[in-house]
Amino acid sequence: MKQIYLDNAATTSIRPEVIERMVEVLNDNYGNASSTHSFGRSSKALLEQCRKNIALYFNVSASEIVFTSGGTEADNLALRSAVRDLGVTEIITSKIEHHAVLHTAEQLQNEYNIALKFVNIDACGQVDYEHLEELLQSGNKALVSLMHINNEVGNILNLSRVAQLCKKYKAMFHTDTVQSVGHYKIDLKEVSIDFLAASAHKFHGPKGVGFCYIRKDSGLKPLIFGGEQERGYRAGTESIHNIIGMDEALKIAYANLETEKEFVSGLKTYFIQEIKKHLPKASFNGGCDDAINSTYTLVNVCLPIAPEKAPMLQFQLDLKGIACSKGSACQSGSNQSSHVLTEILNDDQLRRPSVRFSFSIYNTKEELDYVISILKEFVNS
């Protein structure tokens, strides 16, 4: 049976070069980076070199990069400390953010009685920037938290525009860039962002490691207490092999960015063309067929399938060896509808199945042809 992986927005396979580098470090650099002997110093040197390397990609100081267990921890660190320690009394976000942001914001509202406000979004899930400016005029000390690229429908946020609005109204700006780091360049000298979250397993690195960019002198305090690792921001022995793997994956991603972007964009364009040709009654959620305002890495398709037949689609795709997502991977174990799609689709569209297909350099057009044939078979049966 064919095995076709089209769930790269959930996680990516680790590049062979990254695995090779990680194994090398596991064998040779197992010292604790906090130890003062030669084994520890060797690990510490590698750790700090990774920090410098990653900082260079974003045009920031190495001291502004804090290693975490991934994007969720980085989101929690920024939001929780902003409320607890920085005097933020209002969080402005959207209803289609990742749950790492939404659930954290809701918890902070319960704990600290902060104001939680949601910016309007249009039918494609794009932020209403004029409404955002209205919300920022409240006079409260606000934190705006909006993701760069939506993990379910692929909408791209105008980071510069949001950053300018935040600066104008003296608000702090946090962005979850889990779907964009390694796929897009972000210059934090050009775009004024206070806090940024990233995760290695979205760009062919290992799971369980990411980083949080924390703007210098922001005043952010730690979320996890214990030792003085990560300049006191994040206690706990650093996972050197994972951090090395993230650094290696990011280095390869940015070294090959344009070539790989062109290849993956070609796959997405081809897939959209084939869907339109063979399944003309299908629609694309969130404007994900828009090459300018949507990421090149994924499509989210609403298929012309009767509601009573819809529950079998995911099972059939899996049976045929096709890995993809109903909504997002974070929703896959739940019978609930995607909170993102619930916000942007009408009742008729919500009764039909929507599937997210996300691509990588390891996919081929031949694989996409196979997927189209299986979808046609299911829709027409």
Q: Give the DSSP letter of residue 361.
A: T
Residue 277 CB contacts under 8 Å (≥ 6 apart), including other chains: none
Q: What domains appear along the chain, each with residue ranges and CATH number?
A: 4-12+256-380 (3.90.1150.10), 16-255 (3.40.640.10)
**Structure confidence by residue, pLDDT tens digits, 352-381:** 999 999 999 999 999 999 999 999 999 988
What is the rounded distance in angstroms from the CA atom of residue 83 to the CA atom of residue 217? Answer: 16
Q: Give me the pLDDT at residue 119, please.
A: 98
Considering the entire predicted model, what is its pTM? 0.95
What is the band of 326 on the pLDDT scale with cuts at 50, 70, 90?
confident
Q: Per-residue pLDDT averaged across 272-296, rounded? A: 96
Q: What one-letter code names the amino acid at 177?
A: T
What is the rounded distance in angstroms from the CA atom of residue 132 to the CA atom of residue 127? Answer: 8
Give CA 304 to chain center in angstroms: 28
Question: Looking at 50, 124, 324, 330, which residue is catalytic?
Answer: 330
Tokens of 323: 């890995």
What is the rounded distance in angstroms from the CA atom of residue 33 to the CA atom of residue 45? Answer: 8
DSSP one-letter string for 188-233: TTTS--SEEEEEGGGTT--SS-EEEEE-TT-----SB-SS-GGGGT
Residue 193 has pLDDT above 80, yes or no: yes
Residue 250 has pLDDT above 70, yes or no: yes
CA atoms within a 13 Å half-sphere pointing along the CA-CB vector of 66:
30
Q: Rounded to 10 degrees, what is the CA torsion of 266, 272, 273, 278?
A: 140
Task: Report the DSSP beta bridge partners of residue 301.
Answer: 284, 355
Q: What one-letter code names the amino acid at 269?
A: T
Tokens of 34: 């906090």
What is the rounded distance in angstroms from the CA atom of residue 131 to the CA atom of residue 113? Answer: 23
Q: Give me the pLDDT at residue 337, please.
A: 78
DSSP one-letter string for 292-309: TTB-TTEEEEE----TTT
**Structure confidence by residue, pLDDT tens digits, 144-159:** 999 999 999 999 999 9
CB-based contact 133:152 (threshold 8 Å): no
Tokens of 89: 């009394």
Any alpha helices (H) in 256-356, and if so which ranges?
257-278, 313-319, 339-344, 347-351
Any alpha helices (H) in 86-216, and if so which ranges?
99-112, 129-136, 159-168
Active site residue 330: yes
**Structure confidence by residue, pLDDT tens digits, 100-115:** 999 999 999 999 999 9
Task: Report the DSSP beta bridge partners of residue 66.
Answer: 212
In which order are the strands placed within the sheet that holds 298-302?
283-284, 298-302, 354-358
Q: How far is CA 352 from CA 27, 287, 312, 347, in A?
A: 51, 17, 12, 9
- 3 state DSSP class of 173: strand
Cα four-point dihedral sign 342, 343, 349, 354: negative
Diameter of the chain by CA atoms?
Answer: 67
Q: Give the DSSP letter of residue 181.
A: B
Tokens of 346: 């009408």
Q: Per-residue pLDDT averaged across 298-306, rounded? A: 94
CB atoms < 10 A from the CB of 160, how many?
A: 12
Residue 332 has pLDDT above 90, yes or no: no
Residue 94 has pLDDT above 50, yes or no: yes
